[in-house]
Amino acid sequence: MFKFFGLALAIAIAIIGCHSLSLPSASTKVTVKLSGWGGNQVEQKLLKQVLQDFEAQHPKIQVKYEVISDQYMDVIKTRLVGEAAPDVFYLDALEAPFLMSQDVLEPLDAYITPEFDLADFETNLLNSFKYQNQIYGFPKDYSTLSLFYNKKAFATAGLASPPTTWDELRSYSRQLTGKLNKYGFGEIPELARQAYKIKAFGGQIIGQNDYASFAREGGLQGLRLVVDQYQKDRSSAQKSDVGTSSGSEMFGQNKVAMVIEGNWAIPYLNDTFPNLEFATAELPTINGIKNTMVFTVAYVMNKQAKHKAEAWELISYLTGKEGMQKWTGTGFALPTRKSVAEKLGYDKDPLRSPFVSGVAYATPWQAGKYPAAIVNNFDNQFISALLGQQPLKQAMIRAENEANKQIKAMQ
């Protein structure tokens, strides 16, 4: 459908013509449509409160908020082609490279004022929404990955502090297996959790022209750490091995003593397993290199938005210092502005400081313009290799070849 995306939109934009960027007159009220996916009830309630605060400060702008609860990106892409997309919407960093390349998003550089304080954003996060030297989105929040460990299990095994290298993690995992927990470590094999291990030995997810490139020796070296721990050490488990649906649940139910998870696990564990004694730490180094993953989502503007000045007012409030502090003040999401993180004290919070520390050196969760082909093929074949159904190298070559076959068909 998207081979002729740019042409279709160019024609549509030509027909529509240019829209005025002026703010409304005193007698009119402009409606800005905002779309996002459904989060938990706490998140939805908080966003609605932030939007009410925005409307109170901008009485001539009304925000119509819509939750797209199913097939979010498919819906957004369809509406962009059909000229029915919202003015402002969520865009995950994983999906950003493709949409930014399709000329359907409004470049935001011209709207930025000195008061917006662009330099306050974490550079690593902002870069995920840059394309051809233009900014197309401002990240609303993020999470890196950190190591969660069970304090009681560590004490029982005589371990005084978290592992700082991957070799130590494997050693700890062996010592913890079969004690208070059935396994020492909970492994999540999806590419979203493995990309930084591929990079640790010089590997990469994509190469030239957005083709998959994860089957090279450097990437395989990082992935072998996972396979060896699972098959040889027998000290790690997948969520399906222990009858759980997530890494957080695996950890919370004491099935594993350690797991690598995002900031979202903190409120989940505190609410669901209030008696669990746990701590967090930055991820152990691999090959002497500090790394982790970072996941982020931005507010972006539809290039065909009818009221662009008002749409920018909304984006600048939601990602400005005041709006971001309200949005991230409860701790379920981390602020993308350094000043807000400092004001909220997250850089000194015992549980959240490892997440904040990791953002500067993290690997952004992106996989080029055709992420579905790369992610789906990697995940299917890597799990097969992890289970011993085929050698790792063979599995990754199969995944890479099939991904590139699909990508070629889409280009």
Residues 15-143+295-364: name the CATH superfamily: Periplasmic binding protein-like II (3.40.190.10)
Q: In this structure, which amino acid lies at residue 246?
A: S
When pLDDT is cut at 50, 70 and 90, the band that residue 27 belongs to is low
Mean pLDDT lowest among 24-38, 100-114, 212-226 = 24-38
144-293+367-410 domain in CATH 3.40.190.10?
yes
User: pLDDT of 188-203, one tens digit each?
Assistant: 999 999 999 999 999 9
pLDDT (mean) for 179-191: 94
User: pLDDT of 46-90, one tens digit each?
Assistant: 999 999 999 999 999 999 999 998 999 999 999 999 889 999 999
- Residue with structure tokens 């020492």? 184
Measured distance CA(213)–CA(55) in Å, rounded: 47
- Does 303 have pLDDT greater than 80? yes
pLDDT (mean) for 337-343: 96
> Are 181 and 368 a contacting pair, CB within 8 Å?
no
When pLDDT is cut at 50, 70 and 90, the band that residue 250 belongs to is very high
Partnered with residue 106 across adjacent β-strands are none
User: pLDDT of 254-278, one tens digit each?
Assistant: 999 999 999 999 999 999 999 999 9
Q: Domain extents for the chain?
A: 15-143+295-364, 144-293+367-410
Domain 15-143+295-364 and domain 144-293+367-410, same fold? Reply is yes
State residue 156's pLDDT score: 95
pLDDT (mean) for 388-408: 98
Q: In this structure, which amino acid lies at residue 143?
A: S
pLDDT (mean) for 228-253: 97
When pLDDT is cut at 50, 70 and 90, the band that residue 43 belongs to is confident
What are the backbone dihedrals phi and psi of residue 129, each rounded to the nearest 5 degrees, phi first?
-120, 25
State residue 22's pLDDT score: 47
Element (H, E) at 198: helix 191-200
When pLDDT is cut at 50, 70 and 90, the band that residue 387 belongs to is very high
